[in-house]
Structure 1
């Protein structure tokens, strides 16, 4: 079975390397590489969640011939959700389960944490989230490389709003750190309203990037959840 992972704002596919290693022997883990970073750094980042999800759904079509699940963290959770909606709307087989991490449920209005006024506010917000990735912000050369992606990603999030529509039929597992500074447990629990399938909320010790320190626990949640869904892992 394939698990397709969607990184956070400003993040890259390499963010899921530890999880991929932990799941080795259980799942075929693929990670999305958004344009505007790492090996795709010369490509223009997407300026909206809708355009990004449209492209992701198109790229995912070849993977829908077999059983697959999605895992998205932070902005990646929004993209995993919107990609799943587009695949189903296009008549493609949907995911057997969707894992949504470090993100509150979508609403008609953008999250206050996504509406940032410029580079200074973006950098302050990213530093406040912690995680190993924020260390690149202290290197001027690395910062210059990541800022275009960060601007585009936060601009897309700041303009994103949920436009209604049918909930997912796929079961949903939501994961959140108990000390996440930007996502309250109640906001994460509200994903319940966006699925007609089984819903599971897992609260783990840690902040927004709890995944950095809880990789083995997340691995166990993923494998157990997929077994409960009736899939072979």
Structure 2
């Protein structure tokens, strides 16, 4: 039984009378608790595939299955609930709320995910996560005072604070230098293993592929290579 599968997913955009095929029948099974990296040249369709898999946009055809549930046939509110409670997201930039402290960023995420945790348990979980990402000492800091690497570590913490089963990462290290990139990817790799989180990550950085368990290379809307490390 697979946690997450993508079957014959297609995406076509129409511009007047012109149709542009972005995805041309994608089939992928994500190994549970592992990191799958989507790579390929700009315009290959990797970011489109990730956003469709995450339920952020719809496919023109095909099926997305999560825990044997068909995401592609869900009503909007059902899909929103899945995204809020079972999915975590990391993007190229941290997108932290400027007027919230580090610990308030995580508290807001728990509220958004509608977690059933008591306030006391939430505080304990926030401390545990911030200690895991080595940011507890900065718990009262605002985003403006954080470095790029620190912001991205908080973005990672925010993405997993509600214990999601899936983590979607779109170029999570693109805004960082090589040293900070490796630190963030080491963190994602460790947390995915410790918490059994299945990760789908888009990256153009070949150095980041060393952290992946499963690599999918895309070209012109198709998969040209699918290998498990």
Asked if Structure 1 and Structure 2 have the same fold, meaning a TM-score greater than 0.5 normalized by the shorter chain, the answer is: no
Greater Cα radius of gyration, structure 1 or 2: 2
TM-score (norm. length: structure 2): 0.28
Q: Indicate the structure with greater strand content.
A: 2
